Amino acid sequence: MLTRNKVLLSKVEGTKGVDSAPVPASDLIMPNGELQISLPTEKDTGEGDIKGTFGPGDSVTLKQTLGLEISSRVRGLGGVGGALTPDIHALLIASGHAVTLAGDGAATPRTATYKPTSVAATIENAAATTYFYEDGLLYKLLGGVNTLSFEAAMAVLMAKASIQAGYVAPSVIALPAWSAPDGEIFRMTSALCAITEDGSAINIGSFTFDCGVDVQENYETGSHFFEIANRNPTLVIDPKAVATVADFTALTNSTGFAFIATFTNSVGETLVFSAPNAQLNEISSADRAGRITRQKTFSLKETTGDDQYTIKWTGVI
């Protein structure tokens, strides 16, 4: 049996595109499943240019990028005296979130609260350095920007990200020493949708929460970089995740609802997703014998400022 000689580290950059040198002790992410680096390349073959032989010349590489798809179970802050931020902190910052930290971990529990931000300077500089070690090679994704989504069920909470960064040639280097993080994984305890019209609460068993980050590639004046261009967060609910057809009908027929989902782990830490104003994003539906069979997508709207949603970790003392 072959062992996986792979390590993934990610750390927020102080200056976009400048290596922040992540280390295993504080910047380790435990991926779920297989990881593969991708190297998309754009080339100019010289088609249409008049050459000495009236044919195209050799291909010229214009730009190369690095891409990496990540899936990881969401973990806590590490219990008593744990970390200030969760292990996916860099993924949250590089997808256009602002964080507020509170609590000292001694007298009061530590908290890390993330919200999407519209502050131009924050979005423009949102980036992380990711080190991906694979079988003796180190790939550095500098100035990396990523999408981010969460798949939640009673059994587990998964975070998924697609990182894009400028190409840096890999280097030959030994795998660093590492150990599994202290943070315990989260499981959902409840997810409630409070309907706007009557305030009634509908409990759901699973959902997909997509931060809706639009990552765009730019190549201007010789500077090749990725940036966050837009954001449209959504919540996807499957009819099978709701107890009754009547509940799901009430949900999809409402003008909107407030959403709150609570997760906990084995040491008592909590993680709460909340959105004050979710609205149906589709006007068509699929059904079989009168039953809705297709997942519904809801857009998360603002009520005041950047409050489309909040993701809050709370540790324990």
The answer to whether 315 and 111 are in contact (CB under 8 A) is yes
**Average of per-residue pLDDT values in the chain:** 88
**What would the pLDDT profile of 75-130 be if each residue is shown by its tens digit?**
999 867 778 999 999 999 999 999 999 998 889 999 999 999 989 989 988 999 99
Query: Residue 225: how many CA atoms within 13 Å on its side-chain side?
Result: 17
In this prediction, residue 212 carries a pLDDT of 96
What per-residue confidence (pLDDT) applies to 176?
92
Mean pLDDT throughout 277-303? 75
The whole-number pLDDT of residue 245 equals 82
Query: Does the model's pTM come out above 0.75?
Result: yes
Closest to 269 (Cα-Cα) out of 80, 107, 123: 80
pLDDT of residue 1: 37
Q: What is the pLDDT of residue 243?
A: 84
The pLDDT tens digits of the residues spanning 126-180 come to 999 999 999 889 999 999 999 999 999 888 899 999 999 988 889 999 999 998 8
> What is the model's pLDDT at position 54?
55
What pLDDT score does 2 carry?
Answer: 46
φ and ψ at residue 202, rounded to 5 degrees: -115, 125
**Percent of the chain scoring above 70 in pLDDT:** 87
Segment 17-25 mean pLDDT: 95
Q: What is the mean pLDDT of residues 276-281?
A: 92
> What percentage of the chain reaches a pLDDT higher than 90?
60
Of 107, 97, 111, 29, the residue nearest 68 (C-alpha):
29
The three-state (H, E, C) secondary structure of the chain, written as one string: CCCCCEEEEEEECCCCCCCCCCCHHHHECCECCCCCEECCEEEECCCCCCCCCCCCCCCEEEEEEEEEEEEEECECCCCCCCCCCCCCHHHHHCCCEEEEEECCCCCCCCEEEEEECCCHHHHHCCCEEEEEEECCEEEEEEEEEEEEEEEEECCCEEEEEEEEEECCCCEECCCCCCCCCCCCECEEEEEEEEECCCCCEEEECEEEEECCEEEEEEEECCEEEEEEEEECCEEEECHHHECCHHHHHHHHHCCCEEEEEEEECCCCCEEEEEEEEEEECCCCCCEECCEECCCEEEEECCCCCCCCCEEEEECCC
In this prediction, residue 309 has a pLDDT band, given cuts at 50, 70 and 90, of very high
